[in-house]
Structure 1
């Protein structure tokens, strides 16, 4: 049964990357929280870093919304479910408003999410060094796709209050709701193509207070709330009550400063299928928890390679776990950790777990970035041969295989923009590791199959 669900909501987009979407979203979240509102925040696209910032600020897990990875039904379901109990939901866009899977369609773009969820949208424009040109850019964005519910603009990187006044009085097709001045001192530092991982050393109280106060001074907060409350009801299939399954499977999740790139929806699906998730730290814990399977996500193991290498007791525990044939699944940084060694950008080498006979070598340039489709050519801990799923790659390392005879390649992966496929999915016994960050909304059978594998080898 289709339900009409009212969720006050707003989407913060931009003309491209680097227009201040994340800072604007954090600042707006803090200002709304100061008014006593409960805020849920979402992130468009496959990004793993921005959601950490939003989770830190809200105290709630930030969900990714990605049309290409998840599909419309899963996007709506995730948004509606994670918005429950909140007074307002904020969605941060990815790249530019219309940038996505293809330059000729809105698939995988922020605009697609805006239309699916009918979210009133504010577009952030880098206003530095411009006045009337701001109006020209705003007009082009407003008219590009009339189905995208754009409701206003935000002028970022301003020179002064008078600069904002000039832009506000220009002939602009929709209201300018405010703007922020340039502020290098309180900006959030970046690494690679994104921000540093969220934490109290980055998101200090001083910085958060600064952006909250700036929002209250420079932004028409009441107008933003008016726009958010104008959002129409979402048409959503009734949220059927999922009968809780017996928690007869415990899966250990590596989670700390070195490993924290996960899709929250993957965790949700594991729990719904009867798994109890047990979080542990490869940096700090010297023993594995009592679990039936292991899941190593992505992150920055190369930054903490010396600490990981020195935690020899845990490394031996993981080897023993693998020798018992219990399933181990790893993605990107997890693959690097399970390899024989990591060579960092300075050329230093650190021994790792050694379950995958290869050396992960960091490079100064990006090795792979973008969506991929994968299909399995043999049975794995994720299920029978022929399983297909979608994911994303973002890496600065290559895995140099020492002895391919010791490995099985279980996947073929095809990049979004290429018809050529490459072999992936490094497999040794019940260890499966890959550079692909898989989103299991693309194939909900995968979490079921992984749990089934964990149960099968449960002692």
Structure 2
């Protein structure tokens, strides 16, 4: 099923987390997914289910990869629950409705019912009839004022709509997860204790007819599991060791990127730029994802041993790929907007500054203008950009290897094999990219005397 809202803020994350917790409590293996490019909701899904949550974004990855990803992972579970994005029909080709049509997913509609009664039926009727290709499984009302209010909603929806009201969560059960500038707190940071999740599961079990929901969901046609076309089988060539920065400052990764890299022959070894003084031993490449380096700039600056190690790695010509927050870490400094500046790895001669006047947000398509870590010149890649920081003008002598669809040049390179960018690329859009990364790391072995340079890796 796909859980969609009538609008952003209707409560679909609360309902999704509650359903995940309640279904897992029943002993079901629940596979979560997230519609769109969001990094944060999948970490909450994983916290609740204990399973990796995957992004399903046809606009970014293309329909074939999305079908493949959904079918493979859903087949491993008793039930698949997809959290939508924004309102059901918002977002065009990247909308929840577009994904539901692509995967033939029945939709559970979340309606914020506070301050309305009979009018709820008009909203539900509109959502149910706007696109006849969609199958609305049922409605869950959020922020219900009490038993009488729920009865009024049930009567109105039952009288005017051919859609069932599956239940309603009380206002008192509203589950608030604090937000910050890039969205909700991550799963590992959010105040979602085991007791809080248990309480949410109890609320959902009491308020929603789960038996009926499961019976309706069981009528959805299972997706055929395709032959493994996008997840490549690792070649017989020696595997490479790829260091992946993973901590509170660097936590934004598309799980499919990591899976594709592993399938292409990479052994993934996590390390923390916040707390580790050395890289894992024997690395052939480094992947610095996005996250919140600006929130931990002081701690990153204090870890001079790691900053120096990363800088020497780059100067030695070893493969290093950094996205968004990882790219900020490779700059000379991060300025927090309050007059404080924190030294970073110093690979790119610029400063990342917080906050910008407004967020930079949107899907991106790039063409590589030179061969490198991600593939040959002319390769076309897709991803997403979302950040509040800006960088000071990058010197002209720093090569740009991305040409964006709007003509801008981005994708900055240093020391032959270091690539930094504000873009989060999704390798599912061009699955051969993972093979290029692994091949580039493998080919770089022996090119440089990194151990003679004193790099502990």
Task: With the length of structure 2 as denominator, give the TM-score of the two structures.
Answer: 0.93
The number of residues matched between the two structures is 439
Q: Secondary structure at the match of 1:289?
A: coil
The corresponding residue for 1:108 is 94
Distance 1:185 1:222 in 2: 22
The answer on whether the counterparts of 1:390 and 1:439 sit within 8 Å (CA) in structure 2 is: yes
The answer on whether the counterparts of 1:360 and 1:400 sit within 8 Å (CA) in structure 2 is: yes
Deviation at 1:186, TM superposition (A): 4.0
The answer on whether the counterparts of 2:242 and 2:287 sit within 8 Å (CA) in structure 1 is: yes
1:94 pairs with 2:95: no
Matches within 5 A, 1:313-328: 313-328=305-320
Matches within 5 A, 1:6-45: 10-45=1-36
1:230 to 213, 219, 227: 219
The answer on whether the counterparts of 2:232 and 2:260 sit within 8 Å (CA) in structure 1 is: no
Residue by residue over 1:285-304, the C-alpha shift from the partner in whole angstroms, topping out at 9 and shown as x without a partner, is: 11011210010111000000
The answer on whether the counterparts of 1:367 and 1:398 sit within 8 Å (CA) in structure 2 is: no
The corresponding residue for 1:366 is 358
The answer on whether the counterparts of 2:143 and 2:174 sit within 8 Å (CA) in structure 1 is: no
Deviation at 1:24, TM superposition (A): 0.7
Deviation at 1:25, TM superposition (A): 0.8
Q: Secondary structure at the match of 2:326?
A: helix
Q: Secondary structure at the match of 1:86?
A: coil
Matches within 5 A, 1:49-448: 49-100=40-91, 102=92, 107-170=93-156, 171=159, 172-183=161-172, 186-192=175-181, 194-199=183-188, 202-239=191-228, 243-246=233-236, 248-290=239-281, 291-363=283-355, 365-401=357-393, 403-405=395-397, 407-414=398-405, 420-429=406-415, 430-448=417-435
The corresponding residue for 1:3 is none
Deviation at 1:346, TM superposition (A): 2.5
Task: With the length of structure 1 as denominator, give the TM-score of the two structures.
Answer: 0.92
User: Structure 2: which 5+ residue stretches go unaligned?
Assistant: 447-457
The answer on whether the counterparts of 1:362 and 1:396 sit within 8 Å (CA) in structure 2 is: yes
Q: Secondary structure at the match of 2:85?
A: coil
Deviation at 1:238, TM superposition (A): 3.4
Residue by residue over 1:333-353, the C-alpha shift from the partner in whole angstroms, topping out at 9 and shown as x without a partner, is: 001011110011423110000
Greater displacement, 26-35 / 396-405: 396-405
Distance 2:225 2:63 in 1: 11
Distance 1:444 1:169 in 2: 50
Q: Secondary structure at the match of 1:421?
A: coil
Deviation at 1:381, TM superposition (A): 1.5
Q: Secondary structure at the match of 1:95?
A: strand
Distance 1:185 1:135, change over 3 A: closer
User: Structure 1: which 5+ residue stretches go unaligned?
Assistant: 1-9, 415-419
Deviation at 1:130, TM superposition (A): 0.6
Deviation at 1:364, TM superposition (A): 5.5
Instruction: Provide the alpha-carbon RMSD of the alignment.
Output: 1.7
